[in-house]
């Protein structure tokens, strides 16, 4: 979602549009991976040195609530965020904690293999999370 669209959505929901909020939205949009709150904080503090960690948490909570970002729990203590909210899966490395997107075609293939004994169930959402060791960490183990 473009920044102007995100800002318009937040305005329509009654949220104030602050420079800090826009900076966080921009950081999330421009980030190549799945940042955690601490990573977003380290980036936004470069532009807004007086911003607090609580503000970053609050903005991230609002963005998640409004469906602009999606939280990915990669451990009991840590959450990462994804600005790509279209359906897709994730691979989470148990060693380094990085999160990788699973291409859509594999995600869709998993959806097609719904157990036959569950045909009476109505699926409202589907999340695919695979955990293991990424190639970089695997190399370090060898």
The count of domains in the chain is 2
Say if residue 96 carries a ligand binding annotation: yes
Residues 61 and 102 in one domain: no
**Higher per-residue pLDDT: 97 or 7:** 7
User: Range with the lowest mean pLDDT among 37-41, 43-47, 57-61, 72-76?
Assistant: 72-76
Closest residue by Cα to residue 60 from 121, 50, 124, 43: 43
Residues 52 and 78 in one domain: yes
pLDDT digits (tens, 9 = 90+) for 48-102: 999 999 999 999 999 999 999 988 876 666 788 888 888 888 998 988 888 898 8
Residues 63 and 21 in one domain: yes
Residues 64 and 109 in one domain: no
Please state the pTM of the whole predicted model.
0.74
Q: Which regions of 15-138 does DSSP assign to beta strands (E)? A: 70-73, 79-82, 89-93, 99-102, 129-132
pLDDT digits (tens, 9 = 90+) for 112-132: 777 888 888 887 877 888 899
Question: What's 8's domain CATH number?
Answer: 1.10.10.10
Question: What's 128's domain CATH number?
Answer: 3.30.1490.190
Say if residue 93 carries a ligand binding annotation: yes
Pair 123, 114: CB distance under 8 Å = yes
Say if residue 134 carries a ligand binding annotation: yes
Residues with Cβ within 8 Å of 12's Cβ and at least 6 positions away in sequence, in order, are none
* Final residue in a domain of this structure, among 35, 54, 82: 82
**Structural domain span for residue 93:** 89-141
Say if residue 110 carries a ligand binding annotation: no
């Amino acid at each position: 979602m473009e920044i102007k669209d995100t800002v318009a959505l937040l305005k329509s929901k009654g949220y104030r549009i602050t420079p800090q909020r826009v900076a966080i939205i921009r950081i999330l949009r421009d980030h190549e991976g799945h940042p955690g709150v601490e990573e977003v904080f380290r980036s936004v503090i470069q532009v807004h040195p007086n911003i607090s960690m609580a503000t970053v948490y609050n903005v991230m909570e609002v963005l998640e609530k409004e469906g602009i970002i999606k939280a990915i729990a990669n451990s009991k203590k840590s959450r990462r965020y994804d600005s790509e909210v279209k359906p897709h899966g994730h691979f989470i490395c148990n060693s380094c904690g990085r999160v990788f997107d699973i291409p859509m075609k594999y995600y869709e293939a998993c959806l097609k293999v719904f157990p036959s004994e569950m045909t009476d169930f109505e699926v409202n959402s589907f999340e695919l999370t695979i955990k293991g060791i990424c190639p970089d960490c695997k190399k370090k183990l060898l």
